[in-house]
Amino acid sequence: MSSGDVYLREQFEKTIKELKNIKQKLEYTEKENQQLKRSIFELSSRISNSVIRRNPFIFEPAEPVVASDEIKPNNGKSSSQFSDSRQFFNKCDLKMGVLNGHTLNVSDIEWGQSPNELLSGGYDCSCKIWNIEYKNVINDFHTEGLNQCVSFHSENLVLCGTSRKKICVFDKRQANHVLEFKNNSIVNSIYAYRDGSHIVSGDSSGYLKTWDFRSLGTIFATLNEPSGKPISHISTCLKNPYQTEEPRYMAVNSYDNVLRVYDRGLIPPKTKRTLIHSLRNHKNKNWPIKSSFFQGIESETDTKESDKGDTELSSINHTSNIFLATGSVDPYIYVYDVSGQPGSGSLLQRLEGHSDKVYSVCFHPSEPILASGSSDNLIKVWVPKTRVE
């Protein structure tokens, strides 16, 4: 083959790669466009109905859900000092709120990109993808060993961490796993980078490990805390489901009964993470308890009286709120406010509804909806009080 043919072949392959990249960017732009159209439609509907809402969370008085025993959050205040004005969750009593299918404990759950898609893993060695609207199983994968954790890697790929010290990768279009990462201890939690290039795992030896998805090997590993207590879960804080950059905040559940929140910096994994909150009250020791973030905007409206005596809207103030929910060995869900300065994280509400250990909780990617999985074999869906009303 002549040098001219080699050059033409290289240019052809380069052109093919560029076309592929352009196609991917076009698909992403189309998704953003659809989301924008939806947002414009919803905004138009709200304006036409002259309704002013607070989005995504509505802080209004709710029926007390905290038991009579006093719970002391990090700021030292008892539950009675904040429960009347800051509770916002109620259990959803709708029939669609309960999914039956797992035969043993539900260990982990995660929302998909579709509003009606939910991924769950259980100790029955199964990993299921659910359609929430129709309450049926779309995909059912089976693993060797107990399913400790599950996560969506991309549109078609699903990750499952097992008690056999493996991370299995499943494809929705196939029945058996297509890839396998081998660890030296039980994999309790996994998180896939937004671009799919890396995976972060938390294991029973207390290590946070970063894996290269292409080479199937670890880049580096660090201890979560000096004594090496097992990590039960890692979660990250997404602003919205279409976010392309890596989330800045990460929470790590540990067997020492402490939920740690880290600032990962602007360009993880290159930047070093910094501990900013250490949250207590929940019970995590010796059990695979998991947590979940939700970040949203609370809008407050100011009004003034016009010359004619009418009430007019004068301004709208927006405040960013970051909430962190975690399961617990007791049958409760703990919701923390971690919006403030480092060290200011505090208990916001304790949710009652399950009859046994709450292993996993997961916020919806874009809505103030919380799903919880328990060893009572049930998945419950929680919504803000005003939505139930």
Q: Which of the 8 DSSP states describes residue 15?
A: H
Query: 150 and 162 in contact (C-beta within 8 Å)?
Result: no
pLDDT > 70? residue 224: yes
Q: Which of 329, 261, 347 is nearest to 72 (CA)?
A: 347
Taking residues 239-255, report their average pLDDT.
88
User: Residue for token digits 């304790």?
Assistant: 350
What percentage of residues in the chain have a pLDDT greater than 90? 42
- Indicate if the alpha-carbon torsion angle 133, 134, 138, 144 is positive or negative: positive
Residue-level pLDDT at 52: 31
Mean pLDDT over each residue of the chain, to the nearest integer: 78
Query: 335 and 372 in contact (C-beta within 8 Å)?
Result: no
Q: Out of 228-232, 235-239, 331-335, which region has the weakest mean confidence (pLDDT)?
A: 235-239
Q: Which of the 8 DSSP states describes residue 247?
A: P
pLDDT > 70? residue 199: yes
Instruction: Band the pLDDT of 16: cuts 50, 70, 90.
Output: confident
Neighbouring CB atoms inside 10 A of 348's CB total 23
Give whichever of 94-98, 110-114, 183-187, 193-197 has the largest mean pLDDT: 183-187
pLDDT > 50? residue 62: no
Residue-level pLDDT at 359: 85
142-195 tens-digit pLDDT:
998 999 889 999 889 999 999 999 999 999 988 788 899 999 999 999 999 988
Query: 57 and 298 in contact (C-beta within 8 Å)?
Result: yes
Instruction: Band the pLDDT of 220: cuts 50, 70, 90.
Output: confident
Neighbouring CB atoms inside 10 A of 177's CB total 20
Measuring CA to CA, how many Å separate 297 from each of 44, 294, 314, 320, 322? 19, 10, 19, 5, 9
pTM here? 0.65
pLDDT > 60? residue 81: no
Residue-level pLDDT at 279: 97
Angle 337-80-347 from CA coordinates, rounded to 5°: 20
Residue-level pLDDT at 389: 47
Measuring CA to CA, how many Å separate 239 from each of 24, 86, 118? 22, 22, 19
Q: Which of the 8 DSSP states describes residue 321?
A: E
Residue-level pLDDT at 38: 61
Q: Out of 42-56, 116-130, 297-311, which region has the weakest mean confidence (pLDDT)?
A: 42-56
